[in-house]
Amino acid sequence: MKTAFPNFMDCVPDGTLGVAVSGGGDSIALLVLMADWAQETGRSLRVVTVDHGLRSGSADEAAGVAVLCTDLGLPHDTLLWQEHPETGNLQDNARQARQNLISDWAVAHGIAAVTTGHTRDDQAETFLLRLKRGSGVDGLSGMAAQVTKDGLIWLRPLLDIKRQTLRDFLRQRQISWVEDPSNDDLRFDRVKMRKALNILGEIGLNADVLADTAARMQTARGALESYSKEVLGKVAQPRDIGSVRLDTEALTQHPMDIQLRVLAHCLRWVSGGPYRPRLKALHQALAHSFSGTGHSLSGCLLTPIRDEGIEITREVSAMVPSDASTCIFDGRWHCEPAQGQWRPLGSDGILQRPEWRDTAETRNAILASPSLWYNNELKSVPFVDKNPACGCWLRDGTESFYATIVTH
């Protein structure tokens, strides 16, 4: 098994690595393999378990991971998810909560990368789930071995190893694990896909075939994203105020798939949202843009600009005010600490700053720009005031727009 551990682990960032462990067979195998790897390479690890509190035995499972970590000589932390939503997709909500908790934990401990125990079987199940939803190349490319989200690198070093192989490894090491009863709960789509794989395997559509297909889709997706990034540099201009101006006439010179990818990237960059809009919604947005009519999508406004195409700005109603002491506004802006509240300037605020017309920005961009308020009194509008009382700027700058094109 040691020889099967991926070589890319040798290229992870310096410093302590995080290991996310639930107590199930896949993540316990990851923990043991990572401990072996760390001993061989001299790297330091820190382990984290999220107790979702959704089952009576979840606390005991987290405690079991802690005991194993003690045996392995590794520090371990348990994080509690306590804000359970009453509606929505339970598994998706739990996944999002787990990622958010682990991200905050990683920042607190100076951890740049976290490993998870996704396997080749998980990749095949993901492929089937995306196929059911009618996904194209991006969706069917499955999970990447490495992805960066909000500055944190997530690594899946077991993505080429089958679940059964990992369990055989644990049996050889005489290490036990816990089977999550939800893995047999047919209310969940992923469990249905897991069961379906057993049937599909009888006609040759086994986990290996589907995972290999996902890998080929990843190659195709990489080529499309490379082309999209090249086009992006020619047709789109990100602005310091957080908007994007898009030359729609130049965009039409490229295949429809590339047009959709470029638009999806622009919307995600402006909104800061985790997902791209659905394909049908993107087609509709493009149609509105080419016809010269305004449109809204993904918390953004798409507005025609005379002889320039369209401008994509944040939709004011989609922006949530934040306490000025937190220094982060709308997930995209880093603001100087102050008293009061950061919020979009909005229609009330713009009336108090008629000099906005002296800027090079459009009204929609100014309306969505950050402004500082205290006791409902407008104190600072960094993109309008010549000498703002308090400033703010894009957390990753406009250079992040071109750094990596993310369209999925």
The per-residue pLDDT for range 20-75, each reduced to its tens digit, is 999 999 999 999 999 999 999 899 999 999 988 767 778 888 999 999 999 999 99
Say which CATH architecture domain 2-213 belongs to: 3-Layer(aba) Sandwich (3.40)
Report domain extents, the chain.
Answer: 2-213, 239-408
The per-residue pLDDT for range 230-275, each reduced to its tens digit, is 999 999 999 999 999 999 999 999 999 999 999 999 999 999 887 7
Alpha-carbon Rg for the chain, nearest whole angstrom, is 24
**Tokens matching residue 308:** 């320039």
DSSP for residue 277? P
> Residue 45, exposed/middle/buried by CB under 10 A (0-12, 13-18, 19+)?
buried
Q: What is the DSSP string of 42-75?
A: T--EEEEEEE---STTHHHHHHHHHHHHHHHT--
DSSP helix/strand/coil, 211: helix
Q: Which of 66, 16, 72 is nearest to 44 (CA)?
A: 16
pTM exceeding 0.85: no
- Residue predicted with more confidence, 171 or 133: 171
Q: In whole numbers, what is the pLDDT of the chain averaged over residues? A: 90
